[in-house]
Structure 1
């Protein structure tokens, strides 16, 4: 008899984390749904999830204690979904509120953005991987990048930076874990109608420099406000596709899990445009930039 798949999902209180949990539960799978407070995921508990308090910015030792407890109760983790993340809006010069740490100062807004989006992904992965490796059968580890993994822009440099990091880390982890039978993928959604851009969810730099207001930075601020709740992507449909891909079932039956999942009607065209622009740059400069080798020995 096949083992019922067990999912471990971070940031399950909203967005893709929540709807992937709902989709997995609807298929009869076991779901460990995590959030900073279990009160935020009480609805998932009512649907059958095991809800656990976990903040991805906790110290690694505390995250390890949570995952150890999950392992002792379930004896398996088949699918790890690192869904925690948020956008920080502001020009690089603006996202510079400082806070004093024990030995040195750090730009708090920048650090917090990396702490949740990148270090949180790393620490949860480090804590879960020993159990993911120990689990038998089909196993996946999925991280969330973004269409912003492919293109930087005014006003969201920190977000692009963390999502490029997530994509690069995921691609590397795939090389490390594929020989151990674990499929790693980075999910790169376009614009989906989640609470991602809602007031109180998106982070806006505390510092505001008026010199940027009439530039692309100001335009991006306005464009993101206008986009909120008007995104083309349906998160419920997206979550169903993702669970199909990760379980190699439904529309993904017979297919292998790709290294990246460009999700949404806007994401593949955006990536193709970036590829086209990059190829044009390479073609223009190859004759100069490729002349840097040592002379070949005769």
Structure 2
């Protein structure tokens, strides 16, 4: 790690992982620049010692770039960029409108992408250890009824992060995608999740309706402790504590419930390949 005090910029720090990563970094004596759509939403982080800036990741790129410059000007460098903005859109694919779909991708995918673009010139010019962490999900691995659009955004984030990692590794910047399982944040709160404006009874009587009800039942009962999770994330990004002596990994599959989801997908995919390989691979020119 650089001899300089690490500087973090955290997009979407008003709650959940963004907030608790900020608090964990501050606890370690690091400098934190926290952002939210309104700085009034992160006044508690300002009280804890963070610099706070307004940022909506769906703003035009020129505005995001101005925030990036202002953030870099605070201390003259940035070591860690954390992209934690995102929400879940609940509904069957037929139920969600094109506008709802676009807004979902605009926040979860394009917001992360554009924030990376805006901050990369400053990260590239910072010496020492630097990271970008983007938030995927166990939904990056498995799509499901009632949250297909959300999974689509998280599949995209994990794929983009893998490619970005390959691009930035030669420049000394480590990129990882954090893929949490169920953590007790406000993510599933009624005030945070977005449901399709239209519901279709045929889906309400099927698995989609069951998923809607299960989300409500799961809210505030998730197994994962976000503060413990963020301590692990900060350890990994700074290569300290439980991550001492290790490199920043390609992905952080976070939470006791997450590895089982990934292993299940790997097993199903391997079984599918074995079943169809003799058919689907017999496609070359003679």
Normalising by structure 2, report the TM-score: 0.99
Where in structure 2 are there 5+ consecutive unaligned residues? Answer: none
Deviations 1:236-272 (A, max 9, x none): 0000000000000000000111100000000011100
Q: 2:238 is matched with which residue: 241, 247, 259?
A: 247
Tell me the residue number matched to 2:189.
198
Q: Is 1:278 equivalent to 2:264 in the alignment? A: no
Tell me the residue number matched to 1:27.
28
- Say how many residue pairs are matched: 285
Alignment of 1:72-221 (within 5 A): 72-96=73-97, 107-221=98-212
Shift, 1:214, TM fit: 1.2
Distance (Å, rounded) in 1 between the aligned partners of 2:68 and 2:163: 23
Tell me the residue number matched to 1:99.
none
Runs of 4+ that moved beyond 6 A: none
Shift, 1:70, TM fit: 1.6
- Partner of 2:235, secondary structure, is helix
Q: 1:288 is matched with which residue: 262, 279, 284?
A: 279
Shift, 1:73, TM fit: 2.2
Shift, 1:196, TM fit: 0.2
Distance (Å, rounded) in 2 between the aligned partners of 1:94 and 1:63: 32
Tell me the residue number matched to 1:49.
50
Shift, 1:5, TM fit: 0.2
Distance (Å, rounded) in 2 between the aligned partners of 1:71 and 1:274: 40
Normalising by structure 1, report the TM-score: 0.95
- Partner of 1:93, secondary structure, is coil
Q: Is 1:69 equivalent to 2:70 in the alignment? A: yes
- Partner of 2:92, secondary structure, is coil
Distance (Å, rounded) in 2 between the aligned partners of 1:73 and 1:257: 26
Tell me the residue number matched to 1:226.
217
Distance (Å, rounded) in 1 between the aligned partners of 2:240 and 2:284: 49
Tell me the residue number matched to 1:104.
none
Distance (Å, rounded) in 1 between the aligned partners of 2:219 and 2:71: 36
